[in-house]
Structure 1
Amino acid sequence: MIANLAAGVQAFTSNAFLVTGERTVLVDAGANFDVVSAVRDRTVDLDALVLTHTHPDHVGNVSGVREAFGVEVWGHDPDHPAVDHAIRDGESVRLGDHEYRALHTPGHKDDHLCFYAASPEILFAGDLIFQNGGFGRTDLPEGDRETLIGSIDRVAETISSDLAELHPGHGPSVEGDAYGHIELAGQAARMSF
C-alpha cells in the first residue's frame, strides 16, 4: 500500500510516500510538517528512508525521521549529510512488497533518482515528471533542461506503456494511463525549451 503522508498539508513540502508491506519505507521525508506522527498513525516500524533527491523540501524532515525510527537514509549522493548509503543507477531497492529499479535521472538535480517496479507497474518520479505533463524546474542550481529531457526520455524508454501508477514529488498521483503523463512531460519540456 502507498500513502502520501503530505496530502492536504498546507506548507512548503514535497510529497512523502509511505510504502507498507514486507519492507516499510518512506520515499522522501518532506519538510515543514510532522511526518513522524503521520508515519506513526499508520505503522509501528519504519525500515528505511529513501530519497528521490536532496532538495530541502524533500529532506527537511530527515533528522526527525532518523531520530524517531532509528532508520538509515538511502539516496544517490552519499556525500550529502542527509544520505547514509548510496543507491546506484540500476540498483534494486525493495519498497513494500516489490523490487524497484533505481534510475539516475538528473536534470532537476544531479542526485535525482526515480524508482520503477515492473510488476506492479509503479513509478516514483520525484521531481522529474508530474501529473498532466508537468516536469521539474531547471532554473535551480544543478538544473539543466537538456539533461532533464534526456532523463524523461530514459524513463519513457525504460518503463512499460502499461504503467499503472505514477507518484510524483509534488501534486497528485496518477492512476490509469500514467504513461501518457510521461509522454506529455517530454513534449512539454521540449516545447518550452
Structure 2
Amino acid sequence: MIHNLARSVRAFTSNVFLVTGETTALVDAGSNFDVVSRIDQHADGVDRVYLTHTHPDHVENLQSIRAAFDVETWGFDPTNEYVDNAIGDGDRVPIGDDEYEALHTPGHKPDHLCLYAPASGVCFAGDLVFENGGFGRTDLEGGDRETIIESIDALSEAVETKLTALHVGHGPSIVEDPLADVELARQAARMG
C-alpha cells in the first residue's frame, strides 16, 4: 500500500510516500509538517528512508523521523549529511513488497534518483517529471537543462511500456496513462 503522507499539507513540502509491506519504507521525508504522527497512523515503524534527492523540501523532516524510528537513509550521494547509505545507478532496493531499480537521473540536482519497480510498473520520480508534462527546475544550483533532458529520456527507456503509476515529488500521482505524462515532459524539456 502506498500512502502520500503530505497529501493534505498546506505548507511547502515535497510529497512523502509511505510504502507498507515486507519492507516498510518512506520515499522522501518532506518538510514543514509533523510526518511522524502521519506515519504512526499507517505503520508501526519505518525500515528505511529513500531520498530521491536532497533539496530542503525533501529532507527537512529527517531529523524527527530518525529520532522517532532510529532509521537509516539511502540516497545517491553518501557524502551528503542526509544520506547514510549509498544507492548507485542500477542498484536494486526493497520498498514495500517490490524490488525497485535505482535510476540516477540528474539535471534537477546532481544526486537525483528515480526508483522503479519493473514487476509492478510503479515509479517514484522525485522532481524529474510531473503531471501534464511538467519537469524539474534546472535553474537551481546543480541544475542543467541538457542533463535533465537526458535523464527524462533515460527514465522513458527504463520504464518502456510497463509504467502503471508515477508517484512524483509535487502534485498528484499519475495513475492513468503515466507514460503520456513522461512523453509530454520529454517534449516540454526540449522546448526551451
Where 2:185 maps in the other structure, the secondary structure is: helix
- Kept after mapping to 2: 8 A contact 1:166/1:178: yes
- Kept after mapping to 2: 8 A contact 1:152/1:186: yes
**Match for residue 61 of structure 2?**
61
- Kept after mapping to 2: 8 A contact 1:29/1:62: yes
**Match for residue 40 of structure 2?**
40
- Kept after mapping to 2: 8 A contact 1:28/1:49: yes
- Kept after mapping to 2: 8 A contact 1:162/1:177: no
Measured against aligned partners, the alpha-carbon deviations of 1:56-96 in whole angstroms (never above 9, x if no partner) come to 00000011100100000110011111110100000001100
The CA deviation at 1:176 is 1.9
- Kept after mapping to 2: 8 A contact 1:12/1:57: yes
> What does 1:69-108 align with in structure 2 at a 5 Å threshold?
69-108=69-108
**Scaled by the length of structure 2, what TM-score is found?**
0.99
> What does 1:178-193 align with in structure 2 at a 5 Å threshold?
178-191=178-191, 193=192
Q: Distance in 2 between matches of 1:157 and 1:25?
A: 26
Identity %: 60
Alignment: residue pair count: 192
Where 2:99 maps in the other structure, the secondary structure is: strand
**Match for residue 175 of structure 1?**
175
**Match for residue 124 of structure 2?**
124
**Match for residue 51 of structure 2?**
51
Q: Distance in 1 between matches of 2:62 and 2:88?
A: 20
Where 2:166 maps in the other structure, the secondary structure is: strand
Q: Distance in 2 between matches of 1:162 and 1:27?
A: 21
Q: Distance in 2 between matches of 1:30 and 1:45?
A: 17
The CA deviation at 1:160 is 2.6
Unaligned stretches of 5+ residues in structure 1: none
Runs of 4+ in 1 over 2 A off after TM superposition: none
The CA deviation at 1:162 is 3.1
- Kept after mapping to 2: 8 A contact 1:48/1:74: yes
**Scaled by the length of structure 1, what TM-score is found?**
0.98
Where 2:167 maps in the other structure, the secondary structure is: strand
Where 1:175 maps in the other structure, the secondary structure is: coil
The CA deviation at 1:13 is 0.2
Unaligned stretches of 5+ residues in structure 2: none
Please, what is the CA RMSD of the aligned residues? 0.6
